[in-house]
Amino acid sequence: MEGGSCLTMHSITIQQPWTFTRKKIVGTFTQQLEVFGCDSEVLHLDLWLQGNHMENPDNKREVVLLACGSFNPITNMHLRLFELAKDYLHETGKYKVIKGIISPVGDAYKKKSLISANHRVTMAQLATESSDWVEVDDWESSQNEWLETLKVLRYHHQKLASSNPDNSLQSAVPLIKPGRKRKQEANRYIPVKKNQLSPETKGVPQLKLLCGADILESFGIPNLWKLEDITEIVANHGLVCITRAGNNAQKFIYESDTLWQHKNNIHLVEEWITNDISSTKIRRALRRGQSVRYLVPDAVRAYIEKHNLYSPESEDRNAGVILAPLQKYARGCKQEQTL
């Protein structure tokens, strides 16, 4: 055999490059190892093979895509973002996308025209019924308070880590301050604070935030994002941003020192087959009694019609109410100024 290193164990020699899995190798050689009275070497062999990434011969980094937003309602374009991002990452030859997660924002976000989270989560679930890799998570939407996107990322990173037996979460620190009471949801995991879990934890897929160029550019809106949150998102997780021809996403990154510093962790995916569907336009059409067939999944359209979700009245919901992050960060700035 040409090339590669070799591991010699008594009379058994295994060479690289690998063309089979760890399970197959261990199963093949267990009996032979026992003949030589070295059962313990099976464990050593197994650990050595794990360290050399036997189960992933291409050594591609596993990725989970997380999309946060209102999804009011979810549209075919929201679903296309996942497919575009997956294709792009696979074409780099460096990544393997194993899951997509849709996380609708909670009602406490207070965005104008935002209907009940229960309806938005249900529509998202209906929209992803036919997908074998995109799922809906209702943890964020079930919280009583609005949560920053970074906290949602930390929660899902913890959830991924907790499913890996190589990582322990016994020292996880709750996001909620000690002594503060709040209802515990049945599906609630305890998120962790900064540096409690490293994004490079062994065996844990890399969690990336999936978004459109509008979200990327919203980083520049005063009091909408905290600079330290933006830094941790792009440094520890990364972005996969879907853009369109003529979009200024690259220029926006160039003009931001923070984004420029971590530009290698921001993937800009150009959407060549343009799709101008938006939730705002869907709601407008519904208010006017116009068809939205082929703009949203059929099951979502049927659900909207059944519950008469979008109307002039629903569009005025939260009218005049300041968006939750603007309230929170503006209040924080005022407190700092008085100190």
273-319: per-residue pLDDT in tens?
Answer: 988 899 999 999 999 999 999 999 999 999 999 999 999 999 999 99
What count of other Cβ atoms lies within 10 Å of the Cβ of residue 239?
22
What is residue 192's predicted lDDT score, i.e. its pLDDT?
54
Is 121:136 a contact under the CB 8 Å cutoff?
yes
Buried b (16+ CB within 10 A) or exposed e, 209-227: bbbbbebbbebeeebebee
pLDDT tens for each residue of 146-184:
999 999 999 999 999 998 765 544 334 344 433 333 344
For the beta sheet containing 134-136, the strands, ordered from the edge strand earlier in sequence to the opposite edge, are 134-136, 95-104, 61-69, 206-212, 239-244, 266-271
* Residue 322 to residue 307: CA distance in whole angstroms: 27
pLDDT reported for residue 100: 98
**Residue 112 CB neighbours (<10 A):** 12
**How far is residue 152's CA from residue 154's CA, in Å, rounded to a whole number?**
5
Task: Report how far residue 45's alpha carbon sits from residue 152's, in angstroms, rounded to the nearest whole number.
Answer: 39
Residue 40 is predicted with a pLDDT of 43
Query: What does the pLDDT read at residue 15?
Result: 42
pTM assigned to the model? 0.76
Please give the C-alpha separations between residue 307 and each of 116, 120, 303, in angstroms, as whole numbers. Answer: 12, 12, 6
Q: Which stretch of DSSP H or E encloses residue 227?
A: helix 227-232
Any long-range contacts for 318-326 (C-beta under 8 Å, 24+ apart)? 318/110, 318/111, 318/112, 318/113, 318/114, 319/112, 321/110, 321/112, 322/110, 323/109, 323/110, 323/111, 323/224, 324/108, 324/109, 324/110, 324/146, 325/146, 325/148, 325/223, 325/224, 325/225, 326/223, 326/224
Report d(CA 146, CA 186) in Å as an integer: 18
Question: Rounded to an integer, what distance in angstroms lies between the CA atom of residue 199 and that of residue 194?
Answer: 10
Q: Where are the beta strands (DSSP E) in the chain?
A: 6-9, 12-15, 61-69, 95-104, 134-136, 206-212, 239-244, 266-271
Confidence at residue 175, expressed as pLDDT on a 0 to 100 scale = 45
**What is the model's pLDDT at position 301?**
98
Residue ranges of the chain whose pLDDT lies below 50 = 1-55, 168-186, 189, 197, 335-339
Residue 104: C-alpha distances to residues 70, 146, 173, 304 (Å): 5, 11, 24, 17
Beta strand pairing call for 95-104 and 239-244? unpaired
